[in-house]
């Protein structure tokens, strides 16, 4: 009997939501447009990133051991302290965002603040640059060594060639496939993949010795456009380490954000 009552309630709630879906969404949107509602929403999103393995950002937060340590009382005090700041930011056309002062610490009342979302992105990119520079130092410190390239076979001739072919394949997808997750930053910006089959073959032969050396040093090869606004063409391509390529991308993003924001306090180590 109790099970039947529970099922009836669930069906009634589902039916009510389907009937009043538009009104429900309007109420949620109106609540999130208030300072308290906005803060509650971004704190709930932070909790999901830390506690839910299915959340999109879990690998960068909960997967790294970052915890969400706000009690109900802490949340109430957080709303009370930061609601005026959110209102002021909205009046200035700024999108509020929560940030951990110590990026390796947990979400706690003492380690969480509200700042401009663009500034938060800039701080994240700068931290990424610091991490990339550390990786570069490790790469420079690696001594050349004879390693197994795949399945215990030494010096398999097909592995470097397949690596290069895979890089060409991914670059082509970024430019031509609208369903590719990176299409917006490449094909969506008008960047084209202009390599012919003959040019691809020429580059495979030319770059193969370089890829062999990189793999032996434990360095991941990456395809880079010399002019980041140019197309994938023979004269605009080079082979560099993935870490260096990521660092160049982070520096480019930082320059764009700094141009929008003006001077921003640097990240403290």
Q: Express each pLDDT in 25-83 by its tens digit.
A: 788 788 778 888 888 888 999 999 999 998 888 888 898 899 999 998 998 899 888 98
Q: Is the pLDDT of residue 231 over 90?
A: yes
CA 11 – CA 9 distance, rounded (Å):
5
The DSSP bridge pattern shows strands 221-225 and 112-116 to be unpaired
1 domain-assigned = no
Residue pLDDT, tens place only, 158-170: 578 888 888 999 9
Residue at which a domain ends, from 65, 96, 124: 124
Structure tokens at 145: 């060594």
pLDDT band of residue 268 (cuts 50, 70, 90) is very low
Mean pLDDT over 139-145 rounds to 47
Range with lowest mean pLDDT among 108-112, 210-214, 221-225: 210-214
Both 113 and 167 in a single domain? no
| Residue 124 to residues 48, 99, 134, 253, Cα–Cα distance (Å) | 19, 10, 16, 11
117 domain-assigned = yes
Both 147 and 237 in a single domain? yes
20 domain-assigned = no
Both 147 and 213 in a single domain? yes
Q: Is the pTM of this model over 0.75?
A: no
pLDDT band of residue 140 (cuts 50, 70, 90) is low
Both 149 and 245 in a single domain? yes
Q: For the chain, what is the domain count?
A: 2
Handedness of CA 115, 117, 123, 124 (dihedral sign): positive
Both 159 and 230 in a single domain? yes
Both 192 and 115 in a single domain? no
Mean pLDDT of the chain: 78
Both 158 and 253 in a single domain? yes
The length of the chain in residues reads 269
Nearest C-alpha neighbor of 42 from the set 85, 19, 75: 75
Q: Is the pLDDT of residue 106 over 50?
A: yes
Mean pLDDT over 218-226 rounds to 88
185 domain-assigned = yes
7 domain-assigned = no
Instruction: Show the domain range for 72.
Output: 25-124
Both 31 and 118 in a single domain? yes
pLDDT band of residue 18 (cuts 50, 70, 90) is low
29 domain-assigned = yes
H or E stretch covering 11: helix 2-19
pLDDT band of residue 12 (cuts 50, 70, 90) is low
Residue at which a domain ends, from 92, 124, 156: 124
Q: Is the pLDDT of residue 265 over 60?
A: no
Mean pLDDT over 112-133 rounds to 76
11 domain-assigned = no
Both 158 and 244 in a single domain? yes
248 domain-assigned = yes
CA 115 – CA 95 distance, rounded (Å):
8
pLDDT for res 153: 37
Both 34 and 69 in a single domain? yes
Both 95 and 200 in a single domain? no
Mean pLDDT over 83-102 rounds to 88
Both 177 and 83 in a single domain? no
């Amino acid at each position: 009997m109790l099970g039947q009552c529970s099922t009836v309630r669930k069906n009634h709630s589902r039916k009510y939501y389907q009937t009043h879906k538009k009104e429900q969404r309007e109420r949620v949107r109106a609540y999130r447009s208030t300072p308290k509602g906005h803060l509650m929403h971004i704190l709930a999103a932070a909790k999901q990133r830390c506690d839910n393995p299915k959340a999109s950002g879990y690998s960068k937060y909960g997967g790294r051991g970052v915890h969400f340590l706000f009690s109900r009382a802490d949340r109430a005090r957080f709303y009370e302290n930061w609601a005026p700041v959110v209102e002021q930011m909205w009046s200035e056309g700024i999108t509020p965002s929560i940030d951990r002062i110590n990026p390796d610490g947990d979400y706690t009342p003492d380690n969480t603040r509200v700042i401009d979302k663009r500034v938060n992105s800039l701080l994240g990119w700068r931290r990424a640059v610091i991490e990339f520079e550390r990786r570069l130092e490790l790469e420079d410190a690696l001594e050349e060594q004879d390693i197994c390239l795949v399945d215990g076979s030494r010096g398999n001739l097909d592995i470097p060639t397949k690596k290069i072919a895979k890089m060409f394949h991914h670059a082509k997808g970024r430019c031509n496939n609208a369903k590719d997750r990176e299409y917006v930053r490449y094909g969506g910006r008008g960047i084209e993949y202009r390599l012919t089959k003959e040019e691809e073959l020429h580059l495979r032969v030319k770059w193969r010795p370089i890829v062999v050396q990189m793999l032996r040093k434990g360095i991941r090869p990456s395809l880079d456009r010399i002019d980041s606004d140019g197309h994938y063409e023979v004269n605009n391509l080079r082979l560099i380490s993935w870490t260096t390529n990521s660092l160049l991308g982070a520096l480019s993003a930082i320059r764009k954000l700094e141009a929008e924001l003006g001077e921003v306090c640097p990240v403290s180590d």
